[in-house]
Structure 1
Amino acid sequence: MNTDDVQKIIPKTEPCGSFLCPSDGICKNVDISTTVLNSCHYYDLAMSASNVLLSIGNNIDFVDILLAPVTKQEYWSKCFERRHVWNQIRPSWYEAILNLISPLLPTISYIVINAVKTGASMYQAMSIILASFSQFLECTNPALTKIAF
């Protein structure tokens, strides 16, 4: 199985009833009837564990449970490199962290697109993005600021 199969999202139109099913059309429910785990299972387990940890964990949990194993990996920071931003190949822990900010992205994208359409420069667009994130910071999950620090 290649990495594209691991990242593939299986859209569902109705809730599957599985543990942590978001019921929003992006369910990644994989077959759990097999006795041998494949890479999809490990990805989903790591992402689910990261989501639970980010939801109920504290600073000590973040450092001990999430950050310690991540930073022990040799190329853990590769997903932050600029040339890898758009390829959607993300580790499960990083995808879980990005899910904390995803509710704000449509609103911020709409604001920036309208600004660019009315003649905003790239510098102004970046300023608008930063200002939008700072204004909406109170609306984000508190775990995002904890993990960022």
Structure 2
Amino acid sequence: MSEQQSETERNKAVVQRFIEEVQNQKDWAVFDELNAPDFVNLSAPPGMPADLEGGKMFLAAFVNAFPDSHVTIDDMIAEGDRVATKKTMTGTHTGEFNGIAPTGKRVEIQFVDILRLRDGQIIEHWLSMDQLSFMQQLGVIPS
């Protein structure tokens, strides 16, 4: 295995661990371990800091709104210092999210993350998700 292949495999393992232990098990100590101090969220929502604390705040707000959320990796592609995942998140909306009162509705959201890693830590994050379907499932906008 070449050095680049082993770096790619290590990076994939970091991302898999983040999804399982942080997104699914809600282990905030692992969030701190796997994200670099100079982490940047390049998809931070308006009004949310794009740094490490802002990334944690965004994820915590999501977890508080969907405490039973579970993320499944549908596909993972990696090359060098970047890992891309296509994922499905399911969860029940039982807490306020972005000003939307709890609806009690179960949602299934498709999204893609692109992460850049350095020395076994995530340093950059991009997110693209199906916002239209998400808002329709919550009943915020008509189907």
Same fold (TM over 0.5): no
Question: Over alpha carbons, which structure has the higher Rg?
Answer: 1
Greater fraction helix: 1
What TM-score results when the alignment is normalised by the length of structure 1? 0.30
The structure showing larger relative contact order (alpha-carbon pairs under 8 Å, at least 6 residues apart) is 2
